[in-house]
Structure 1
């Protein structure tokens, strides 16, 4: 991240004024930077959870654009999905704090590995 001014970003699909629904045909996975789905105001207010900190800080336009704008820093990520699932981090937070999970398209890979391991174990 870092370097230069904010990247030119397309308008986000979701804003701080309301969650909104993804448009018909919306796909999973991240839009390529600097594209994003959520606006800076929402990201700044939210507790942000990711699959992988490194991948999110490299690929997630939803985080890269607000950071380039100076609205958040790399420490803005609250935790990872593994932290939540493993009980190392409590879910929730203040009711006024939106909870944002930013996927960069890795969850299906995790599921595929889990299924393969399960089947290999003969369970």
Structure 2
């Protein structure tokens, strides 16, 4: 009898992908906190999760095997964030404290999904070995 990993792991494998994409966007916001004219972005988590579940994402074509594979979020998932503070004069809308909080929250949720997956894998290994839980 074959094991269906999609059924065994549930939504958590897809949540990891969506959380990873969001972490990249939030890190980019933090890296560009002092860049004039930079607009803060965020990922629509529900859209990212749906896209990850449907596996309809796309990647940039690599022209050389030594290039890194880069996944790009489909249009509509990454959106500009509505600023919480008035413009400082340079057009940058990044609020560093908000970005740090969002990044930490996203990291905790990523860790939670990893823990759920780890528990599922442990349970599958016990079942395969015939151990009692």
Q: Give the TM-score, by structure 2 length.
A: 0.28
In terms of Rg, which structure is larger? Answer: 2
Higher helix share: 2
